Amino acid sequence: MESGVRLRAGWLSATLIALGATLGCTPHRASDPQPPAAGENVLEMKDGTPGPDGVVLPLSPGEKPLESAWLAKRNERYAGLFKGTRCDVLLVPMQVEGGGFDRPSRDIMTADFARALNSMGRCVADPYLVDIALGEGLRRRDPERVLALARTLNAREIITIYSGHYAPGQMRVTLQRSRVDGGTRLPPAPLAARSLEFAGYDHEHPSFTVFRAHLPEMLATIGIKTNPAAVDKVRGGSMPAALPRSLDEYLRPNPNPAQGALSASAALMFLAMQAPREWRATDRLFTKAWVALDSVDDVDPAVRRLRARILLHLYERPYALSLIGNDTGPEADGLRAVLNGNLPQARQALAQVRSPWEKFFLGIEVVDLELGYSRDSRASTRQVLDLFEGSPFAPFVYRRLLEREGWSLTKTRNMISVLDRAIPQTTSGVLAVP
């Protein structure tokens, strides 16, 4: 009887994963199911050509994929943001071959590739905006839509990346580079296509760290020369003394271009911690916070903690623990306790943390842990809310604190009124962001 229950549960899980992939959704956290074991119908892989997606089910003859009119309009709206712009390269957000990596990992790898191109003076369209314009989080992109967006951008090149795994610890990356002829309607002309395999990713070395280590090699294989000189890491700067007190700090473009990377990453983290859990936009904020620390060294314990905290929320616990190592103090002790699920120690550390930023971050995490354990969270909730007395962010923080509570309802109008004051509406009813 027990084995029958396990069999039915496994069948149901596999069915749900396949259904989610068919609708364009990636299984959110764990890597996809492992491909067949050795000797079980192993595919022949062609250099420069991605293998098939290991999860998405093939369509039957005459069957069309499900489409959402709302999502199609959203994609069109974001694609329209690129009209009138000119950029050398359209980098297609990373797609999947074989068993895929989760969306946040693919986002980080795409951002790292874009930054590498930027560092060589190449203009690369913002991959986060490109992702939404082509269909947010999709495992595969429509080549016709990619070409249309490239023409909108007046791009001269399209670079497409696929990644996945066919064996534990072994990742495959396929890169394709093509030239776009802006004066004709001809299809893109292939310039280079290569597939590479890299070993060494595991729980303490996520796929995006292995990908980053091999970036120069990947660029060289498709004919893009890189500067072999090592780039020195820089210090991250310091955290602001106080938490943000106005939405204006986020609505103005580059409000403080002189701020350090630590401050910029913390500002993104501040928004991510208020956003709903298990949401694509939340993942996007966490990955942007990670990328903001890209050029920063690990000398400062605050940088190590922020990196580890981002990883906690991207479900990379082993790597997060390795980053904070043996760091001490209430901030490190509290984060380590949360990573280990040690609620008593996390509560004790929360009471001792003095930095408003770290108290806010740790407070949200402690409340999540308390509600996950069905424990009283009122004292921890009060410690967090006291940080936001009179702040426009208070309604958002309150909603986030109650997200796992299950019994309380937050008043949406409180959040809407804050947004109405910060972002006035035009007569057409469209939000007008400065």
DSSP-assigned states of every residue in 40-61: SSPPPPPTTSPPPBSSSPPPPT
Task: Please give the Cα distance from 355 to 184 (Å, whole number).
Answer: 58
Which residues does residue 167 pair with via DSSP β-bridges, in sequence order? 170
- Tell me the C-alpha distance between 126 and 115, whole Å: 10
Query: Residue 207 in contact with residue 30, Cβ under 8 Å?
Result: no
Q: Tell me which CATH code domain 69-221 carries.
A: 3.40.50.10070
Q: Where are the domains of the chain?
A: 69-221, 248-422
Question: What are the strands, taking DSSP E only, across 19-156?
Answer: 89-96
- In this prediction, residue 428 carries a pLDDT of 43
Specify whether the CB–CB gap between 381 and 348 falls below 8 A: no
Q: What DSSP assignment string belongs to 138-180?
A: -SS--HHHHHHHHHHHT-SEEEEEEEEEEETTEEEEEEEEEE-
pLDDT by residue, tens only, the chain of 434 residues = 433 333 333 333 333 333 343 333 333 344 554 555 544 445 678 999 999 988 877 778 888 778 889 889 999 999 999 998 899 999 999 999 999 999 999 999 999 999 999 989 999 999 999 999 999 989 999 999 999 999 999 999 999 999 999 888 999 999 999 999 876 777 899 999 999 999 999 999 999 999 999 999 999 999 998 776 556 677 778 888 899 988 887 776 555 555 789 999 999 999 999 999 888 999 999 999 999 999 899 899 999 999 999 999 999 999 999 999 999 999 999 999 999 999 999 999 999 999 999 999 999 999 999 999 999 999 999 999 999 999 999 999 999 998 887 777 667 777 888 877 777 764 444 444 33
State the pLDDT at residue 16: 34
Supply the pLDDT for residue 243.
94
Residues of the chain by 3-state class (helix, strand, coil), percent to 5: 45, 10, 45
Report d(CA 72, CA 133) in Å as an integer.
Answer: 9
User: Which tens digit of pLDDT belongs to each residue from 262-318?
Assistant: 999 999 999 999 999 888 999 999 999 999 999 899 899 999 999 999 999 999 999
- Nearest residue to 101 (alpha-carbon basis) of 35, 31, 53: 31
CA dihedral 321, 166, 278, 377 (to 10 degrees): -30
Q: What is the pLDDT of residue 412?
A: 76
**176 phi/psi in degrees, rounded to 5:** -130, 130
- The model's pLDDT over 89-125, given as tens digits with 9 standing for 90+, comes to 999 999 999 999 999 999 999 999 999 999 899 999 9
What are the φ/ψ torsions at residue 175 (nearest 5 degrees)?
A: -120, 135
Residue 213's pLDDT is 94
Residue among 95, 116, 90, 99 at smallest CA distance from 107 = 95
State how far the alpha carbon of 146 is from the alpha carbons of 141, 201, 299, 343, 347, in Å.
Answer: 7, 30, 41, 48, 49
For Cα atoms 383, 422, 356, give the angle at the middle one, nearest 5 degrees.
25
Q: What pLDDT does residue 21 have?
A: 36
Pick the closest to residue 27 from 105, 91, 93 (CA basis).
105
